[in-house]
Each structure stands twice: as C-alpha cells, then as structure tokens.
Amino acid sequence: MQEFISRVNIERYRRLIAAETDAAQLERLKRMLEDEEARLRAYQRCGEAAPGQGRPEDTIDRQTP
C-alpha cells in the first residue's frame, strides 16, 4: 500500500514541478520528489514486510507509552 502511495505522490510532484514558476516553491517540490523517490526505492528493497521487518517507517523513533 505504501508503495502505491509513493508512486501517486511522485506523479503528483512531477506534475506540480512542470507547472511551477516560483523558484522557492520549485526547489521545495524537487526536494519532496527526491524524498518520495528514495522512500519508494526503500519500499521496493524491503517489500511490504510485516511490522518490525525492515519497512522504512519502522526506522522512525517512536515513543512508547
């Protein structure tokens, strides 16, 4: 599921980049595109593993109650 979301985000960012005229906004969108492409590559390497099995979001530090 996360891989699908990344693919949709990448396509959206590419469309926005093509239409953007503001330099600052363009740079922001390019960074967002790069981040999303890296996220997609990570999902492709790890696959849709079970929680705790190396999915990219499992590397985020989370506080436990």
CB atoms within 10 A of CB 64: 3
Tokens of 25: 């906004």
How confident is the model over 29-62, as pLDDT tens digits? Answer: 999 999 999 999 998 888 755 444 444 454 444 4
More reliable by pLDDT, 12 or 43: 12
Question: What is the C-alpha end-to-end distance of the chain, expressed in Å?
Answer: 27
Residue 14 has pLDDT above 90, yes or no: yes
Determine the pLDDT at residue 64. 46
CB atoms within 10 A of CB 61: 4
pTM higher than 0.85 for the full model?
no
